[in-house]
Structure 1
Amino acid sequence: MGYVVAVSQAEESHQRRLARNLNELLQELRVAQAGVQILFGFLLSIAFTERYASADGYIRATHLITILFAACAVALLTAPAAWHRLLFRRGRREDVIEVANRFAIIGLANLAVAMVGTILLLAEVVIGGWVAVVVGAFAAVLFGTLWFAWPWRERSRDTIRNDDVPDEDRVE
């Protein structure tokens, strides 16, 4: 004989909100994952070209560092799916969301560094010299501004009191 468990309206709403938050986060990560995986494949293929064999130490070091940041981005941006799968139906959805959010932010930072490194590498091969460094610096400013500084500024401009923010958006 089955038992009927009464769930309060507030708890059901909280669980639905958690499910929605997790789905939104995983959907956002799917977008980032595709890009970082393509970038990672591109970076790996560079090492197997004829031109790479004659690359100097600066190019090789920049390439290796860029690959390491791309690999970290892949690990961090795909980890939430593994956490979700391994903790599935364990009542840990809130924990998964909290950790996945941190992984996503750190993963995006690693992806930004990998993108800047890739742009610097390409600019170095195509243009070379100080102009390549300027192009890399421009890319760093662009990613830093669009992905981090501007949203952080908007976040600090919030006029909503923490008590008025829904649970899923609350900053503790």
Structure 2
Amino acid sequence: MLKTIGLNSLKTSSRFVRLSTCRTLAVTTRRLNTQQTKTTINNEKPMRIDRELPDPRADRKKQWAGFAAFSIAVGSALAIIFNYEKTENPIISDTLYQLRKSATTKEWLGENIEFDGIIPWVYGKLNPVAGIINITFYIKGNKNQSGMVRLVADRENRHDEFLIHEWSLTVNDKKFDLLSESSSKTLNHN
């Protein structure tokens, strides 16, 4: 029995020695890590404000030039977006379709009527919701001749059709009334 008690106390004391050794190592490691951190922090340059802050009003010309460039870029992007919306409007698509069928347009510009230029541009006001159409755009055909189309129309309210006042094609300073060769004087777009 004594042997058993002695063995048990020996096992317990060896566990205690192991645990205390592990605790001592852990505490020592923590102390060393904090000391190293403190020494590295102390070796760095301290933060001081002993110099003048930058003047925000310096280089005014650069600031104005940057603002002007930004404004021009944003304005150009908006103009391109709004023009794209105009060129994709059903009224423009219908107008191009009618121009492709027109005998006068075929005679002066040829077949394959499309927008003239790399970037198609629709000038003027195209607001079907308000009932106002006053647009101008350039077209070309396979005869390498370009022409300017003008369309002016309006309507009283949303339920009415657009009443066309002017629909013309100008080629080489000759103006052709496309409204006279069309059977309809209205655009049916709601």
TM bucket (normalised to shorter chain) is 0.3 to 0.5
**Larger helix proportion, structure 1 or 2?**
1
Report which of the two structures shows the higher radius of gyration computed on alpha carbons. Answer: 2
